[in-house]
Amino acid sequence: MIGSEGIVSETAETDQARSPALALAWIADRLDERGIAWRITGGLAARAHARTPTLVRPLADIDIEVPDEAIAALLPVIAPFVVYGPARFQDENWDLLLCTLDYHGQMIDLCGGSTCRIFDAAAGLWRDDPFLPGDFVLRDVLGRRCPVVHLAALIAYKRCLSRDVDRADIALLTGIDPSA
């Protein structure tokens, strides 16, 4: 916080440390200022759709999907917070353009959705999972009205991935334990 002398107090960093609400507000403002289409996905989207918010799991990061080219357009303002990428990222679950930020202790994954692919564990093959601008629902998320992936699409991609965390989110969202 800036005191009367214009000096940033030591508590400013502490106040901002690991604040999902502040991190979401910061990145959402950067996206909106540039007119970039975006939507929340992942665990934060599961929270936004949850029928019982008190049962949600701890938030690991903030996943935001944007068109691939938007990541380069954001670099001038996000560069101080970049800890990975932007680069093509592939593991056993994902194949996408990724830029990971550390905004005062809160991790944010900017996921390029134009060429995103996910691994369908049940079928044993890669599936395209393209980001379609305008394909979202507005929800109140951490005190801000945000575009969020549709519930059906969220459940569908979590079923494809079928990781423990995805099965837990599906159970939270549907009331049905997918492993039962």
CATH architecture of structural domain 19-174: 2-Layer Sandwich (3.30)
Express each pLDDT in 134-179 by its tens digit.
899 999 999 999 999 999 999 999 999 989 999 988 988 887 655 5
At residue 65, does pLDDT exceed 90?
A: yes
Domain ranges of the chain: 19-174
Dihedral Cα 72, 31, 21, 41, nearest 10 deg: -70
pTM for this one? 0.85
